[in-house]
Amino acid sequence: MSSFDPNIAASLWHTDPAECIRLFQEGINAGELDAYAQGLTHLEWQARINNCQMPYHSANMTDMYFTWYDAELIEFHDILQAKQAEFPSNAGFNMLLAFCCDALGINSQEYYDAAAAKGAVIANMVHYDWTEAVPETNQLTPLVNVRDVPGSPEHITMVSMDSVYALKYLKGVTETYLQHTDQGLLIHLYDCDYALIHEIKERAGFGIVAEWPEANKNYFHSIRLVRLAHLLRYYDTKMWLLDADTVISGPMDEIFSLSGDLVWRARPGRLEPWNQINACLFGCDHQGYIDQAAGYIHRLLREDALHWGCDQMAMWAVWRQNQELTVSLLDDRQLCYDETIRNPIVMAYSGARKKLLEAA
């Protein structure tokens, strides 16, 4: 039995990157599938650092997947193809092969479908061939317009949160946003009691919408794309999504001046399709694109197939069908995950980094 543990290797990335890379490279050299699956990402990141590239932010929409470790990616694909041929009912081999096919520009849908059929439920949300219409507002829980966004801003940023996130993060994100821009802010509340909404309404400077779906985080993080589609049509100005667990640290003008139908952070060196695009900060003024993304999410909802990351999956799958759209990418200062970056604009605290924000 192999002694290689990819989770131990990955856990060293921030504290001992050299050892992390050594362990993964040793595992790949030994033909360990787990070493390829997680290690290719870390090896690609380290190569990008060595070559003065942003490790976690793509520079453009062609600067994705694997540039420095494409030969190893091909090796991984070939190993998985042989494994899948030998064990066609194995969900894991089908899923990993689908990832590799995506990264190599090979049609992958059959492998996602096979993985889903064999129990990999997360594969149910990967559909590159869906073209769905935006749902009507009466097909979802009613959305109550508590207060319009004040003024007539050129940009409106929507921040969605449930009561737990509102108590933790609302004050920080609203106060720092209003400190650094005069553009619009819209707070989208899920399942908050009336007393909390009344308390939030006492604070000036932003609009408020609310709904009570009695749902969970899979609904919260994905249905905001549907609401964005509806609200883009209502306000008829460029709309942005912003995660609640963020702090604005500098003037937003630089971000709002980015051109294109879409603005987001793209990720290099990632295999999973739901991790190619980051939904932490996302700008859109293309109604057709966001309508289709909303339709994608609504179909997942109807099929009881919402999973964590399906917002990003929808964004990626729909973009794959609409690559004629213009896209501007956020760099590692405009959307920052690293305290060593100078002069960040939006500081994000996803995952374990939330503890840093909660302790502030």
Per-residue pLDDT of the chain (360 residues; tens, 9 = 90+): 467 899 999 999 999 999 999 999 999 999 999 999 999 999 999 999 999 999 999 999 999 999 999 999 999 999 999 999 999 999 999 999 999 999 999 999 999 999 999 999 999 999 999 999 999 999 999 999 999 999 999 999 999 999 999 999 999 999 999 999 999 999 999 999 999 999 999 999 999 999 999 999 999 999 999 999 999 999 999 999 999 999 999 999 999 999 999 999 999 999 999 999 999 999 999 999 999 999 999 999 999 999 999 999 999 999 999 999 999 999 999 999 988 899 999 999 976 666 666 645
Residues 252 and 249: their CA atoms lie apart, in Å, by 9
Query: For domain 6-125, is the CATH number 1.25.40?
Result: yes
State whether residue 352 is helix, strand or coil: helix
**Structural contact between residues 283 and 258, judged by C-beta atoms closer than 8 angstroms:** yes
Question: Would you state the structure tokens that stand for residue 130, as one six-digit string?
Answer: 């869906």
- Second-level CATH architecture of 137-358: Alpha-Beta Complex (3.90)
Q: Tell me, what DSSP letter sits at residue 273?
A: G
State whether residue 220 is helix, strand or coil: helix
Q: Could you tell me whether strands 207-211 and 184-190 are parallel, antiparallel, or unpaired per DSSP bridges?
A: parallel
User: 28-37 b/e with 16+ CB inside 10 Å = b?
Assistant: beeebbbbbb
User: 312-329 b/e with 16+ CB inside 10 Å = b?
Assistant: bbbbbbbbeeeeebebbb
Question: Would you state the structure tokens that stand for residue 204, as one six-digit string?
Answer: 């000036």
Question: Would you state the structure tokens that stand for residue 237, as one six-digit string?
Answer: 């100005």
Give the residue from 282, 311, 139, 319 showing the smallest Cα distance to 222. Answer: 311
Beta bridge partners of residue 266, listed in sequence order? 277
The full set of domain ranges for the chain reads 6-125, 137-358
